[in-house]
Amino acid sequence: MSSSYAVLTTIIILLVLFLYLSWVFVSIKVVDKEQKGETTERRDFLFTASYALGAVGVGVVVWPLIDQMNPDASVKALATTEVDISKIGLGKTITVLWRGKPVFIRRRTQEEISKAKNVQLEELKDPQKDEDRVKKPEWLIMTGVCTHLGCVPLGDKGDFGGWFCPCHGSHYDTSGRIRKGPAPTNLEIPKYEFVDNNTIKIG
Ligand code: FES
């Protein structure tokens, strides 16, 4: 049973329980009342019961429609991807596909890290500290799509020792920040996390 149907079943059980308890409560009360009062209370209860049953009916009809909008397991699997980074050597980059886009995973050298950290923010077109772009200094994970018009930049190229986009000449530094050329912003950092020391999950 999917979690959506489990929720729906719980709602129905709670509503039935509510109806039953309402019935018990009203029945106890009417025992001590005059005939007129009893009629009114029973009528109120019938209204409540009708609304509740109506709500259940609407829920039963609408829920499958809502549920089918939820991504199924295969779609969710595509939304995230786990990558083994244990084989990436120092100073090397691998490219993985995530949601149809290339993602660069770079294991940076100490020199690259120092270069990225020593840049003054005033020098940057899209000011961002290197620390704000990485979770661990050694690992730079970013979308490999030039922010100008979407070409894929080349690694270990350009005037800043990072990436170079040959389409119109954008240069990115060792943190993937735009330093020269028409690209307006830094290479994007996707959502990711370290599952353990050797695995990252993107998405
Ligand atoms: S698409 Fe990269 S510089 Fe134009």
Contact 127, 121 (CB under 8 A): yes
Helical residues (DSSP H) of 70-173, grouped into ranges: 73-79, 110-117
Position 70 scores a pLDDT of: 59
Reading the block at residue 79, the tokens are 């939304």
Q: Tokens 């830094």 sit at which residue?
A: 186
Q: What's the Rg (C-alpha) of the chain?
A: 30
- Mutational test site, ligand 1, from 125, 146, 164, 171, max ligand atoms within 8 Å of CB: 146
Q: Is residue 110 domain-shared with residue 62, that is, in the same domain?
A: no
Atom of ligand 1 nearest to the CA of 151: 1
pLDDT in tens, 65-93: 555 555 555 555 568 999 999 999 999 99
Contact 186, 176 (CB under 8 A): yes
Position 193 scores a pLDDT of: 97
Atom of ligand 1 nearest to the CA of 149: 1
**Top-confidence residue, 134 or 9:** 134
Long-range contacts of 189-198 (CB under 8 A, 24+ apart): 189/133, 189/141, 189/142, 189/143, 190/98, 190/103, 190/141, 190/142, 190/143, 192/135, 192/141, 193/135, 194/135, 194/136, 195/82, 198/84, 198/85, 198/86
Q: What is the domain extent for residue 187?
A: 77-202
**168 counts as catalytic:** yes
Contact 162, 125 (CB under 8 A): no
Is pLDDT above 90 for 8?
A: no
Q: Is residue 60 domain-shared with residue 82, that is, in the same domain?
A: no
Q: Which pLDDT band holds residue 1 (cuts at 50, 70, 90)?
A: very low
Give me the number of domains the chain comprises: 2
Percent of the chain with pLDDT over 70: 64
As a whole number of angstroms, the distance between CA 24 and CA 49 comes to 13
Position 29 scores a pLDDT of: 63
Q: Is residue 181 domain-shared with residue 84, that is, in the same domain?
A: yes
Residues in contact with ligand 1 by the CB-under-6-Å rule are 146, 148-151, 165, 167-170, 181-183
Q: Is residue 61 domain-shared with residue 138, that is, in the same domain?
A: no
Q: Is residue 15 domain-shared with residue 99, that is, in the same domain?
A: no
Q: Is residue 48 domain-shared with residue 104, that is, in the same domain?
A: no
Q: Active site residue: 42, 125, 168, 191, which one?
A: 168
CATH number of the domain enclosing 157: 2.102.10.10
Q: Is residue 60 domain-shared with residue 109, that is, in the same domain?
A: no
Reading the block at residue 203, the tokens are 């998405």
Q: Is residue 140 domain-shared with residue 198, that is, in the same domain?
A: yes
Is pLDDT above 60 for 40?
A: no
Q: Is residue 84 domain-shared with residue 162, that is, in the same domain?
A: yes
Q: Is residue 190 domain-shared with residue 144, that is, in the same domain?
A: yes
Q: Is residue 111 domain-shared with residue 157, that is, in the same domain?
A: yes
Position 7 scores a pLDDT of: 61
Amino acid code (one letter) for 119? V
The chain-wide mean pLDDT, for the chain, equals: 83
Maximum C-alpha span of the chain: 93
Position 62 scores a pLDDT of: 57
